[in-house]
Chains A and B, each alone.
Chain A
Amino acid sequence: MPDTAMPILDVNGLETVFRTRGGSVHAVNSVDFHLRPGELLGVVGESGSGKSVTMMSLLRLLPSPPAEMRNGTVMFDGQDLLKISPEALRQVRGSKIGFIFQDPMTSLNPVYTVGFQLAEPLRAHLGMSKAEARARSVELLKLVGIPDPERRLKDYPHQFSGGMRQRVMIAIALACDPKVLIADEPTTALDVTIQAQIIELVKELRRKLGMAIIWITHDLGVIAGIADRVMVMYAGQVVEEGPVNEIFRDPQHPYTQALLKTVPAVRGPRAERLQVIEGQPPIMRGAPVACSFRNRCKFAFDRCAVENPALTPVHAPGHRAACFLLDTASTPKPEAVHG
């Protein structure tokens, strides 16, 4: 584990399996990662790559059955979140670790006022009185840039626009001053100009409050602008992680490289034809025994079909990738395979 501060969140060997009548699906396969105080970790990958399930597993938010957390430790604040009592876990959820979901309409309760929903965590976790909670709610709405906060406390979620609703969600997540904020595709449902507002807001809140953030998205552009470190997921595994500049300038895993090339640019030179990744991501019926990306990878060779590559360090500090191409001793040259 590289340099500097002790991680605030340290995940090791996390495994989540969904057991259904149609068979089991291995959604998270031995995921390791850490988050340092004040850091913004971007998590990218296609739908079904296990980004959200990983984060929901940390806080045991998945219903069990069908979800089953088979293995792993999640160390936070000196305790393992997968082992502590439901009571202790409730103290962590929403108070020390805040969660922002993708769709602010479905994650806010339509029959309660925004004021009520903001006050709820304050009263439950911090034991505030009604008046204190109200004062703090006004402060929070002001913090996330909602005009006329006193009046808007009495409004219901449907009376807010999409961007304003997402601001309310952020205010609720921030209510108890969490050390960690997990944002699951917080801007995906929003328009670009509103997305720009929310990103500016999060940048500003980070400067003011200094919490660590995990930001899940499939939008590489968003990640490039806000993340310190990036983790790329594929088929429930971390295939590459590293500092944001390294990932974008010098991606090592063929999946990361391909993903970066599929996105057309809005500025700069324009490609005549878009690069594609042929095929579909796999559905993991069992724990991976070979490289999950091999069927879509243009560099795949024999070893990829019999062994699952582990994350190995790349030259830059903190940059790791799970690909046999990095294991130069056993690897044929990519050109030889491809051409």
Chain B
Amino acid sequence: MGDVQTGMEAKAAVPLVKVRDLKMYFPIHSGLFRTHVGDIKAVDGISFDIMPGETLGLVGESGCGKSTVGRAILRLYDVTAGTVEINGFEIAHVDRDSLRSKRPMMQMIFQDPQASLNPRMTVASIIGEPLDEHMKLSGDERLARIYELMDWVGLNREFAKRYPHEFSGGQRQRIGIARALALNPKFIVCDEPIAALDVSIQAQVVNLLEELQTRLNLTYLFISHDLSMVRHIADRVAVMYLGRIVEIASREKLFADPLHPYSQALLSAVPEPDPESERNRRPIVLQGDVPSPANPPKGCNFSTRCPKVMDICRQQEPGVFDFGEGRQVACHLYSESMKTTAEPTGGERTN
């Protein structure tokens, strides 16, 4: 399993992260007795692999479930179904103690550095906390490690005694990155790490993430709604809509020639800082809003807004079609020309 893989890496390479048919439902309780009346299907059966040293971009609009994917993979939630394998260890269903021993290899960088740093802790204690929890270091070793981490992320060592509020947004995000790196992780989930930052600061943080990836051989899941940034940083990109991956492809393929109607609309909606080409750009304007994940439409999730909707889309979930080189699309448009895949990286589904 897992050898029908991305064209980017050598065929022999083993994926570092392997997600199969992951489901994350949040129950809805209602009425006097808080009876279980339904589920919010935030993530509804997604599968993908991430190769060592690779960056997989996960894009989609708010509410599509992309952040839930990131959190579920790291077992910040107890997943409803499916398997997650990181560096050969099954994460999704292990008990707390063995999970805890695996925590160092998988870390997270959060969206809002303001909210994810304790305002009453100094930078040194924030970065040092994971060291205290998972490693036995002497005071000197600990301080040396903290300084080393601060150097890596470009924070002045003199700031070690300061508190988060004394820093700007970009610097705070660097503190969050240093904390994530403290335990030498292999895999980092970056959950909208630049969304709260200004444009000129975003570029600084993205360049830092790229430098660190090269230096420490990190593997990233880069969750973002900023398509131009994802195009910059990701090797492969998965597009999510309403809890499912609709298309997964290499960066070049996806941005040059998106196949799923939703990917097409999403990419065409991004304005470009060029007045000339903007004048001629005709975005595919989708009608209406995203349906509620508590009550997804019958058939294809995108059928209520799809400009190319056919009768079958409202009846039957589309299968996943493999276009080779790791590119997979879940859409009925390709059912004529393509054969369904056997081993998907982007959304295994049984009809």
Q: Which residue numbers of A lie inside 8 Å of B, CB to CB?
A: 46-47, 161-164, 191-197, 199-200, 218-225, 227, 244-245, 248-249, 258-260, 262-267, 270-271, 273-278, 280
| Any A CB within 8 A of the CB of B281 | yes
The residues of A that contact B202 with a CB separation of less than 8 Å are: 262
Known: A196-B269, A200-B285. A46 touches B228 (CB 8 A): no
Known: A46-B198, A266-B228, A276-B203. A192 touches B281 (CB 8 A): no
**CB<8 Å pairs between A and B, sample of 19:** A47-B198, A161-B289, A194-B289, A196-B286, A218-B199, A221-B270, A221-B272, A224-B272, A225-B272, A225-B279, A258-B200, A262-B202, A264-B229, A265-B228, A265-B231, A266-B228, A266-B231, A266-B255, A274-B206
| Any A CB within 8 A of the CB of B275 | yes
Contact of A267 among B232, B255, B283 (CB under 8 A): B255
- B199–A196 contact, CB under 8 A? no
| Any A CB within 8 A of the CB of B61 | yes
Known: A266-B267, A266-B272. A193 touches B170 (CB 8 A): no
Known: A163-B289, A193-B266, A274-B207. A248 touches B231 (CB 8 A): no
The residues of B that contact A163 with a CB separation of less than 8 Å are: 289
Pairs of residues from A and B, 4 with the lowest C-beta to C-beta distance, nearest first:
A221-B271, A225-B278, A191-B61, A220-B273
- B273–A221 contact, CB under 8 A? yes
- B200–A46 contact, CB under 8 A? yes
The residues of B that contact A274 with a CB separation of less than 8 Å are: 203, 206-207, 232
Interface residues on B, range: 35 or more
Q: Which residue numbers of B lie inside 8 Å of A, CB to CB?
A: 61-62, 168, 170, 198-204, 206-207, 210, 225, 227-229, 231-232, 255, 265-279, 281, 283, 285-286, 289
The residues of A that contact B271 with a CB separation of less than 8 Å are: 195, 199, 219, 221-222, 224-225
CB distance from B199 to the nearest CB of A (A): 6
Q: What is the interface of chain A mostly: helix, strand, loop, or mixed? A: helix
Q: A132 to B277, alpha carbons, bound, how many Å?
A: 44
- A262–B200 contact, CB under 8 A? yes
- B61–A270 contact, CB under 8 A? no
CB distance from B154 to the nearest CB of A (A): 10
Residue on B nearest A145 in the bound complex, by CB:
B287
The residues of A that contact B273 with a CB separation of less than 8 Å are: 220-221, 223-224, 248, 260, 263, 265
- B61–A263 contact, CB under 8 A? no
- B275–A244 contact, CB under 8 A? yes
- B266–A192 contact, CB under 8 A? yes
- B198–A218 contact, CB under 8 A? yes
CB distance from A236 to the nearest CB of B (A): 15
The residues of B that contact A46 with a CB separation of less than 8 Å are: 198-200
Contact of A262 among B199, B225, B278 (CB under 8 A): B199
- B272–A196 contact, CB under 8 A? no
